[in-house]
A and B are shown apart, each in its own frame.
Chain A
Amino acid sequence: MKHVITLNVNGDPYAIAVNPWQTLNEVLRENLNLTGVKLGCGEGDCGACTVIVDGRAVSSCLSLAVEMEGKKILTAEGLAPTGETLHPIQEAFIDKGAIQCGFCTCGMEMSALHLLTKNPSPTESEIRESIAGNLCRCTGYTKIVEAIGAAGEKMRESSERKSS
């Protein structure tokens, strides 16, 4: 029997009927057509499906949809909602050449957001640790680590500007 869940995705409210075995990944990809949420392994190993649920980075492929009642979910599509300006993390990924095939990119950005929200000035090894659950086969992670560092700097500058 299907359950109706209500949740907020990228700022918008949804009520969706889901089977008890359906994952959050299926709901985001199949019901909401969010292509920024990938499915690389379905086993929580690769990180390509990472989204933010109530402020925490989680593997959407391991999260059951029925547990998402009342949750706030953010995907790469919600990072820069106006579609005009980009989020500093997205900007940095583009500028630093951190993107090749792009299949891991959105998941990486979500893990980066989780890190930078908690820790605005991470060290290189903290950055590496924060994306240790996000696999990439193209970049060797070098430019991704650089991009996250650069995004952190930008986000710090803009929050300092706001607070001053």
Chain B
Amino acid sequence: MKEFSIVGKHVPRNDARAKATGTAVYTDDIKLPGMLHGRLLRSPFAHARIVGIDTSRAEALPGVKCVITGEDIPKVKYGNWRLFPETQDEYALAVDKVRFIGDEVAAVAAVDLDIAEEALGLIEVEYEELPGVFDIDSSIKEGHPVIHDYCPTNISVDRKIEYGDLEKAFAESDYVREDVFTVHPVSHAYLEPCSALAQCDLDGRITLWTSTQVPYIIQCLLASTLEMRENDVRVIKPFVGGGFGGKMELRAWEFCAAFMAKKTGKPVKFTLSRDEEFLAGRRRHGMKLYSKVGFKKDGTLTGKDFRVYLDGGAYNAMGPTATFLCGNFGAMLYRYPSYRYLGEHVYTNKPPASAMRGFGAPQAIFATETQMSIAAEELGMDPIELRMKNAQVSGDEITGFATISSCGFKEALEKVAEMSGWKEKRGNPKEGRGIGIGCYSFISGGAFNWFNTQYPYSAAEVRVFDDGTAHLLTMAADIGQGCDTALKQILAESLGLKMEDIRITSADTAMTPQADLGAWGSRLTLFNGNAVLDAAEKIKSKLYGAVSARFNMNVIHDFECKNGRVFPKGKPDRGLTFGEAVAMVQKAQRGEPLLAHGYYTPRDKGLVTPAFSFGAQVAEVEVDKKTGIVDVKKFWTAHDCGTVINPRAAEGQLEGSIQMGLGYALSEQFIMDGGKTLNTNFLDYKMPNAMDMPPSEVVHLDTYEPEGPMGAKEAGEGLAIPTAPAIAEAVFNATGYRCRDLPITPEKILKAIEESESEKGGSKSTMK
């Protein structure tokens, strides 16, 4: 492993002090003179035609400054798949029709929140209710109600992946099994409710402060929906209280704040309530997954046929990308000589599903991992042994699609088996106890460009000063994961400076270089890290030239930046301080400041990502067979995220992922009555609290990703994937209940214990 000075060290977060003292400012904390408060009127019906809206009583209420409906706004639809405009299916406010309970119908801006709220009650909307569809099967059944006129099938997007001769593979298999899995939607449940504040500048341009993961995407889509030029819209991301995929599209309140600020000439702020977040907020896709997989007698995989329906809710949101990634991750982790995927994104009259930590992969991998464990059982093999036999390794390639440049998967499997005492515990089962494994792989940023940006995917500007400091400017969005700190570490390491020598300005579309696709798909460390290094190399080459000239060095010498100095390698006494070297360059440039831009766009890196992460997790559970309650005793995780830039941040990602994975497996779900979400508060939406968290042990494997900055790849999302399948397998090991439909509830466990062990549910297998 390469030795670093700052990378890989326990460096406190850039913003920790501000957050600990309460001085960190989030969007809702910002107040501007004359600011109006906005509220949204939402649809009480899951599917209805809007016959008419009367806003006159609301407008007449003293203190109300602006009321708008879908009639008032430019008829421009938006969506993140700009490359395929037909997928852009959303207006900020409903036009003609509402498609889910909570769909935004009208907006009010008033001098205070109480008046805005009162005004909502004075808006009269006449609806003509339409039949709705609330699950995948009824949405695609013949004679189904059509949710969007442009899409008579209700299947808005399909994605196919195919390679190898699958029919031949199954024919030549000794063991073929088919299973059906269903997974449920869950909430991002970020602590900070969405908030946006817009101001119309004196020259008519818009500035929007918003709680977002994707400032650049908001800038572009806000410009198009306001019918303005992109450069006339400035998006600033203040501190953001978590996102997890739920804040990565333009949303109604962002548009309304900007539109109403233009209309009234006053700043307008919208902040959602928690009830709105749960009732109408984005969620992880529920899916129905059909998986057929073939093996040779010795456990070697022959092929997989994977057919998935995504319950998309009323709009596409990030569903199209999830449809693709679900298919990609159906074929990751193991070597499938042949593979066929068909994923279909289905509209239903429910709140739209979207990206959520893992972005299609948690669902695909829950199915994959559960099926691997079932197959191991039936083949008479140990689940880890079957995985080892088929595990992907460094250098594996899926032709024209993806190359795995670094892969610590086998090491992860070996490590978790050792840490958890796997053999001993599987070999000597204790009553009510069980141990199970789940694995993951994830992307380090997407190589695809469905947003159709004309700019680099990531960019950085580095300015250096003769006082020995530097200023890093990047559009990267720190939403709590800590990329500001990680990128500063990468720059400090590269320039040989200290953390305190570096100032950072981030996520302001008017002040930081174009562009950045945002904080999603675990892309910032690799993509922006590479952009930062690109800029740093350009700076260093100028500094090296100056030092070389100053000391009249032979051209064969190489140089380095370290400990605040710039010097020829091996001759630290001949160099200059960083600030002196900068001053030399400035002199040579007759005063022109020294700055450089760096960029990263993955080229020739396949269709998915430049680098995949891998890992494995073991869960041990105790199940009370009288109550069906699952008590997770401990987790063991070994993961390969390449070089660890910031160990505490990486551990924090894992620990948070376990909380989310634990909730996904056991306690979190939306209780729905048709299209209505019933549990719209934290009391009834049960995400794990501090007392619910089991202990956990982790090992960061020593791997190096050649495409990553200083060898790094992703650590933000993949870790959220293995927990549910690991718990499910452990519960099976403890009770014989095999979960094929998340979440794992006491009711399901008790029912399974009551029923005979021979019950096989919706699955079948053939052994030749």
A80 to B682, CA, bound (A): 31
Check A137–B244 contact: CB distance below 8 A.
yes
The interface-forming segment of B154-162, B190-198, B222-230, B289-297 is B190-198
Considering only CB atoms, which chain A residue lies closest to B693 in the complex?
Answer: A141
Proximity bits, A57-76, B CB within 8 Å = 1, else 0: 00000000000000000011
The interface-forming segment of B23-31, B100-108, B422-430, B454-462 is B23-31
Given A40-B192, A40-B274, A128-B690, A140 contacting B659 (CB threshold 8 A): yes
A93 to B244, CA, bound (A): 22
Proximity bits, B459-491, A CB within 8 Å = 1, else 0: 000000000000000000001111000000000
**Does residue B766 face the partner (Cβ distance < 8 Å to A)?**
no
A93 to B22, CA, bound (A): 13
**Does residue B655 face the partner (Cβ distance < 8 Å to A)?**
yes
> Residue B22 contacts which of A35, A132, A134, A142 (CB distance < 8 angstroms)?
A35
A117 to B17, CA, bound (A): 22
In chain A, positions 126-153 with a C-beta closer than 8 Å to chain B are: 127-129, 131-145
Instruction: Please name all residues of chain B whose beta carbon is closer than 8 Å to the beta carbon of A135 when the two chains form the complex.
Output: 189, 191, 682, 687, 689
> Residue A137 contacts which of B13, B659, B683, B690 (CB distance < 8 angstroms)?
B659
A1 to chain B: closest CB distance in Å? 15
Instruction: Please name all residues of chain B whose beta carbon is closer than 8 Å to the beta carbon of A103 when the two chains form the complex.
Output: 26, 190-192, 241-242, 480
> Residue A34 contacts which of B22, B656, B658, B683 (CB distance < 8 angstroms)?
B22
- How many interface residues does B have (CB within 8 Å)? 55
Given A48-B191, A104-B191, A97 contacting B648 (CB threshold 8 A): yes
Proximity bits, B633-654, A CB within 8 Å = 1, else 0: 0000000000000001101101
In chain A, positions 73-127 with a C-beta closer than 8 Å to chain B are: 75-77, 79-80, 83, 86, 90, 93-97, 99-106, 109, 125, 127
B372 to chain A: closest CB distance in Å? 26
Check A143–B652 contact: CB distance below 8 A.
yes
> Residue A105 contacts which of B19, B649, B660, B696 (CB distance < 8 angstroms)?
B19
Main secondary structure of the interface of A (DSSP, over half): loop
Given A43-B274, A79-B21, A144 contacting B690 (CB threshold 8 A): yes
A98 to B652, CA, bound (A): 8
Check B189–A137 contact: CB distance below 8 A.
yes
A145 to B689, CA, bound (A): 12
B396 to chain A: closest CB distance in Å? 32
A5 to B16, CA, bound (A): 34
B171 to chain A: closest CB distance in Å? 46
Check A100–B683 contact: CB distance below 8 A.
no
**Does residue A9 face the partner (Cβ distance < 8 Å to B)?**
no
In chain B, positions 682-709 with a C-beta closer than 8 Å to chain A are: 682-683, 687, 689-691, 693, 696
Check A142–B648 contact: CB distance below 8 A.
no
Check A131–B690 contact: CB distance below 8 A.
yes
Most buried by B among A102, A128, A133, A141: A102
Considering only CB atoms, which chain A residue lies closest to B683 in the complex?
Answer: A45
Instruction: Please name all residues of chain A whose beta carbon is closer than 8 Å to the beta carbon of B12 when the two chains form the complex.
Output: 94-95, 97
Instruction: Please name all residues of chain B whose beta carbon is closer than 8 Å to the beta carbon of A76 when the two chains form the complex.
Output: 20-22
Instruction: Please name all residues of chain A whose beta carbon is closer than 8 Å to the beta carbon of B656 when the two chains form the complex.
Output: 100, 136-140
In chain A, positions 46-64 with a C-beta closer than 8 Å to chain B are: 46, 48
Check A99–B189 contact: CB distance below 8 A.
no
Check A101–B241 contact: CB distance below 8 A.
yes
**Does residue B240 face the partner (Cβ distance < 8 Å to A)?**
yes
- How many interface residues does A have (CB within 8 Å)? 56
A138 to B481, CA, bound (A): 8
Considering only CB atoms, which chain A residue lies closest to B682 in the complex?
Answer: A45
Considering only CB atoms, which chain B residue lies closest to A48 in the complex?
Answer: B191
Instruction: Please name all residues of chain A whose beta carbon is closer than 8 Å to the beta carbon of B691 when the two chains form the complex.
Output: 125, 128-129, 132
**Does residue A18 face the partner (Cβ distance < 8 Å to B)?**
no
Instruction: Please name all residues of chain B whose beta carbon is closer than 8 Å to the beta carbon of A127 when the two chains form the complex.
Output: 690
Check A138–B480 contact: CB distance below 8 A.
yes
Given A137-B660, A140-B657, A143-B648, A99 contacting B192 (CB threshold 8 A): no
> Residue B693 contacts which of A37, A93, A140 (CB distance < 8 angstroms)?
A140
Most buried by A among B10, B15, B652, B660: B652
A95 to B25, CA, bound (A): 21
Check A99–B681 contact: CB distance below 8 A.
no
Check A86–B687 contact: CB distance below 8 A.
no
Given A76-B22, A102-B480, A97 contacting B652 (CB threshold 8 A): yes
A139 to chain B: closest CB distance in Å? 5
Given A42-B273, A93-B20, A140-B659, A102 contacting B690 (CB threshold 8 A): no
A141 to B239, CA, bound (A): 20
In chain A, positions 18-39 with a C-beta closer than 8 Å to chain B are: 29, 33-39
Considering only CB atoms, which chain A residue lies closest to B190 in the complex?
Answer: A137
B237 to chain A: closest CB distance in Å? 12
A76 to B19, CA, bound (A): 10
Given A43-B681, A138-B652, A94 contacting B20 (CB threshold 8 A): yes
B661 to chain A: closest CB distance in Å? 10
Check A97–B683 contact: CB distance below 8 A.
no
> Residue A139 contacts which of B28, B193, B655 (CB distance < 8 angstroms)?
B655
Instruction: Please name all residues of chain B whose beta carbon is closer than 8 Å to the beta carbon of A48 when the two chains form the complex.
Output: 191
A125 to B591, CA, bound (A): 62
A85 to B273, CA, bound (A): 35
Given A39-B28, A43-B681, A80 contacting B21 (CB threshold 8 A): yes
Most buried by A among B22, B240, B660, B693: B22
Check A94–B17 contact: CB distance below 8 A.
yes
Proximity bits, B480-515, A CB within 8 Å = 1, else 0: 111000000000000000000000000000000000
B692 to chain A: closest CB distance in Å? 9
A129 to B692, CA, bound (A): 10
Check A101–B693 contact: CB distance below 8 A.
no
**Does residue A41 face the partner (Cβ distance < 8 Å to B)?**
yes
Instruction: Please name all residues of chain B whose beta carbon is closer than 8 Å to the beta carbon of A97 when the two chains form the complex.
Output: 10, 12-13, 648-649, 651-652
> Residue B690 contacts which of A36, A95, A100, A141 (CB distance < 8 angstroms)?
A141
Instruction: Please name all residues of chain B whose beta carbon is closer than 8 Å to the beta carbon of A141 when the two chains form the complex.
Output: 655, 659, 689-690, 693
A96 to B649, CA, bound (A): 10
A160 to B512, CA, bound (A): 50
B19 to chain A: closest CB distance in Å? 3
Most buried by B among A35, A40, A77, A128: A35
Check B16–A43 contact: CB distance below 8 A.
no
A74 to chain B: closest CB distance in Å? 11
Instruction: Please name all residues of chain B whose beta carbon is closer than 8 Å to the beta carbon of A140 when the two chains form the complex.
Output: 652, 654-659, 693, 696
Instruction: Please name all residues of chain A whose beta carbon is closer than 8 Å to the beta carbon of B15 when the two chains form the complex.
Output: 99, 102
Check A94–B23 contact: CB distance below 8 A.
no
A135 to B690, CA, bound (A): 8
Instruction: Please name all residues of chain A whose beta carbon is closer than 8 Å to the beta carbon of B659 when the two chains form the complex.
Output: 136-137, 139-141
A145 to B190, CA, bound (A): 20
A10 to chain B: closest CB distance in Å? 10
Given A102-B24, A103-B192, A135-B191, A93 contacting B16 (CB threshold 8 A): yes
Instruction: Please name all residues of chain A whose beta carbon is closer than 8 Å to the beta carbon of B696 when the two chains form the complex.
Output: 140, 142
Check B23–A35 contact: CB distance below 8 A.
yes
A144 to B274, CA, bound (A): 24
Considering only CB atoms, which chain B residue lies closest to A36 in the complex?
Answer: B22
> Residue B274 contacts which of A37, A41, A100, A132 (CB distance < 8 angstroms)?
A41
Nearest 3 pairs between A and B by C-beta?
Answer: A36-B22, A101-B480, A103-B241
Chosen A-B contacts, 16 in total, with CB atoms closer than 8 Å, are A38-B192, A41-B681, A45-B274, A79-B21, A86-B21, A97-B12, A99-B16, A101-B241, A102-B239, A105-B20, A127-B690, A128-B691, A136-B690, A137-B188, A138-B481, A142-B655
Q: A46-B191, A97-B12, A138-B481 are in contact. List 16 more A-B contacts (CB 8 A).
A: A35-B26, A43-B274, A45-B683, A46-B274, A79-B21, A94-B13, A97-B649, A97-B652, A102-B239, A103-B26, A109-B20, A128-B691, A132-B691, A135-B191, A137-B189, A138-B480
Q: Identify the A interface with B (CB < 8 A).
A: 29, 33-43, 45-46, 48, 75-77, 79-80, 83, 86, 90, 93-97, 99-106, 109, 125, 127-129, 131-145
Q: Identify the B interface with A (CB < 8 A).
A: 10, 12-13, 15-26, 28-29, 31, 188-193, 239-242, 244, 273-274, 479-482, 648-649, 651-652, 654-660, 681-683, 687, 689-691, 693, 696
